[in-house]
Amino acid sequence: MTGKTLIMGIGNVLWADEGFGVRCVEALADAWSFPAKVTLLDGGTQGLYLLPFLEEADTLIVFDAVDYGLVPGTLKIVEGDEVPAFMGAKKMSLHQTGFQDVIATAQLMGYCPETLILIGCQPEELEDYGGGLRAVVAAQIAPALEIALEKLRAMGIEPVPGKADTHLLADKSILRDAYEEGRPSEQEACRIGDARFLPAGA
């Protein structure tokens, strides 16, 4: 293996299927161990704060929820120069605009990773504030990880079963199991905004 590889999940776990990418990198870290030159990162919605990580990477693999206009739960892999276009073609949230800008800035500064791979999943629900992944999207975490593992092996990187370094992932309190088991029901907490300001009957 040559060069450094950054495996990143981006998105906002607070908005249902928007959290797909972050949940993928969490699941990857929980099941696989990697050589020292592979870094796993919860990129969340950090935007330009991610630039230093891109600067150090030769290969970037990104998990994200992307609105391809396909059937919910559909996985689509985009590589190379097409990645920035897909990140911004049909924006679902500010994080996608932000990450498109991150790639563009890295390219302008001359340190964008040479290899770009986007593993995206078509979301089903994005308007459930505090909600978790819908079943059809959650079911694609394992297939998405398999795609990433195949890409890594093709590059000569051999993951082994185990646990990865998680110091660049989210706090344990908002990892998927803790987050989804601990959140209140829809009856206890409005998921789409502040109930005081919603139109009557909404």
Q: How far apart are CA 32 and CA 12, in angstroms?
A: 23
Q: pLDDT tier at 51 (50, 70, 90 boundaries)?
A: very high
More confident residue, 157 or 184: 157
Q: Given the structure tokens 């990198």, which residue do they identify?
A: 25
Closest alpha carbon to 52 in 95, 100, 109: 109
Q: Express as a percent the part of the chain with pLDDT over 90.
A: 56
Q: What is the DSSP string of 5-24?
A: EEEEEES-TTBGGGGHHHHH
Q: How confident is the model at residue 1 (pLDDT cuts 50, 70, 90)?
A: very low
- Bridge partners of 33, per DSSP, are 160
pTM of the full structure: 0.88
Phi, psi of 15 (to 5 degrees): -115, 65
Q: Which of 136-140, 170-174, 178-182, 191-195 has the lowest mean pLDDT?
A: 191-195
Chain-centroid distance, C-alpha 72 = 16
With CA atoms as reference, report the closest residue to 189 among 11, 13, 14, 12: 14
Mean pLDDT along residues 185-200: 69
